[in-house]
Amino acid sequence: MADPVRFVDLDKTHADALFAATFGTEGTEKEAVKAWCDQPIRMDPETGVIRQRRAGPCACIAPVQARAETHRRFGTEEDAETALRHALVDALWCAGGREQAALVATRRALHEHEHEMAAAVDLSLEGAVLDASSQWEESFVVARVNTKEDLERAVERAQNCLESPLGALLLLLSALESRGVERAMLDRDDASHPLVTPPFGHASQEVVHLLLCGKAVSNVFNGTITLGETPGEGAGHALVLQGVPSHPEVGLITMLEFLRYCEVGSFLKRPKYPVWVVGSESHYTVLYCEDEKVQDLDRGQALRRWARERFDALDQSGGGGFIPVESLDGLLDKIGVALPAESLQALKASAVVLWTELLGALAAVDPQYASNNSTAVSFELVHVNNILKKDASGSLAPRICRIRVAVPPPWEECMDGEAKAAALLGGSQKEGPLVDCIRTRWHRALCSWTGEEPSIV
């Protein structure tokens, strides 16, 4: 039976398109390309962490590390290497719309399955900087598959390539080929800039989204937002900003939300698994909880807060707790709740809609809106920073930190909530940039840890 996984030459058209999307025009700063030609995708067997050598490729490393944690913590794979292989398959299959995928590999390392040659090629790739599309055409091959099983076979065959110094670059190119370069560029708000920028080779947020959500969208909100749309014939073109299309398996929180540059939507804040990529101004790390139930601890609070924020945006009374009845239908669309006809009619019986009345109607549809919790809750998170830094012994190592988190109940339900949360930590709460990020997901959370402060840079 013929092997369904067939690697073929990467032709000039695809090589040029990939290079332009990734680094822009040839002659880009060599240091930016070098960062992506010196990063193996390989798990450290002792820590179960991909060891990041230099700044830049974290936009690929963190999403794959996060996906690997979903397999190790909530799947059946305790072996880090197997979890990594499944994480790579998941990311590329997602980028291909779960219908097809592609894997880019180095040409000679796959030649006739000669493992000795593959090992020799791995050594020859140390220090190689492929900074021209012609070098990609000469060096790379691609396999295109239509089933997840075939993608698993391709990833297994190309393991030597992914573990070579070109691993991060091959992963990025594989994700772009899986999505389709043209489609990936259409996902973006502005495709005039390359995905990787000089001088340090930092990749854009769109690369993270491509590996988490399957689309290279530029924004962190839910769905799409249309700006400037005008009805009627001869209307001008609307500007459509694309966000995250649905709940991904792995989410994202970011320091940029704490700094009020953006607001991460519920799709990324509440992913399928309690695993998040953490964004800072210049780096991506990973945060996860080993208990899936952590997602449900504050679901009722989050629902009420989401609805109340949208309600208050329409409250023209300056905080009086009511909105014009004309705003009700639009508010319900934003919240995403369809009320029964009789409830809707009752709310529209007067000129204004009170928050307390609306909350009651929402609770009748979803009881979580009515959940009243005056108890602080606590749980443990694990933070992983893949980039290598010297540890206490002077050795280079990734950093893993366990963080104890206590979340107070909302102010309106318990005025001394923070004192209750602090008591769960023994009064030893600490502050730092990661804590600021955690609070964008768990409002007013208190955190504590032992030893060095966890770093998000």
124 and 72 co-located in one domain: yes
Q: Which residue has the tokens 């990749």?
A: 203
Task: Decide if 176 is inside a domain.
Answer: yes
Q: State how many domains the chain has.
A: 3
Judged against a pLDDT cut of 80, whether residue 257 lies above it is answered with yes
What is the three-class DSSP state of 367? helix
Query: CA torsion angle for 184, 190, 193, 195 (degrees, to 10)?
Result: -40
Task: Decide if 1 is inside a domain.
Answer: no
- Final residue in a domain of this structure, among 159, 187, 213: 213
366 and 379 co-located in one domain: no
**What domain range includes position 90?**
7-213
Q: What band does 28 get if pLDDT is binned at 50, 70 and 90? A: low
Distance CA 16, CA 26 (A): 10
268-280 mean pLDDT: 96
Judged against a pLDDT cut of 50, whether residue 360 lies above it is answered with yes
What is the three-class DSSP state of 29? coil
383 and 315 co-located in one domain: no
307 and 288 co-located in one domain: no
Backbone angles phi, psi at 355, to 5 degrees: -60, -45
Task: Decide if 191 is inside a domain.
Answer: yes
169-182 mean pLDDT: 98
39 and 119 co-located in one domain: yes
Q: Which helix (H) or strand (E) holds 449?
A: strand 446-449
Percent of residues, the chain, with pLDDT higher than 90: 64
Task: Decide if 157 is inside a domain.
Answer: yes
- Final residue in a domain of this structure, among 370, 388, 421: 370
Question: What integer pLDDT is reported at residue 31 of this predicted model?
Answer: 82
- Final residue in a domain of this structure, among 182, 213, 244: 213
Q: Are 310 and 334 in contact (CB under 8 A)?
A: yes
172-195 mean pLDDT: 96
Distance CA 166, CA 449 (A): 36
54 and 159 co-located in one domain: yes
Q: Are 338 and 332 in contact (CB under 8 A)?
A: yes
Residues 6+ apart with CB under 8 A from 413: 372, 373, 374
Task: Give the domain CATH number at 338.
Answer: 1.10.238.10
341 and 388 co-located in one domain: no
14-35 mean pLDDT: 87
Task: Decide if 99 is inside a domain.
Answer: yes
Task: Decide if 398 is inside a domain.
Answer: yes
70 and 208 co-located in one domain: yes
Beta partners for residue 253, in sequence order? 278
Residues 6+ apart with CB under 8 A from 255: 278, 279, 280, 281, 433, 436, 437, 456
Q: Are 107 and 141 in contact (CB under 8 A)?
A: yes
Task: Decide if 456 is inside a domain.
Answer: no
314 and 379 co-located in one domain: no
342 and 436 co-located in one domain: no
232 and 292 co-located in one domain: yes
Task: Decide if 228 is inside a domain.
Answer: yes
> In a 10 Å sphere around its CB, with 0-12 CB exposed, 13-18 middle and 19+ buried, how is residue 130 labelled?
buried
233 and 363 co-located in one domain: no
337-355 mean pLDDT: 92
Question: What integer pLDDT is reported at residue 427 of this predicted model?
Answer: 75
Neighbours of 447 (CB within 10 A): 23
Distance CA 10, CA 138 (A): 8
The count of residues in the chain is 457
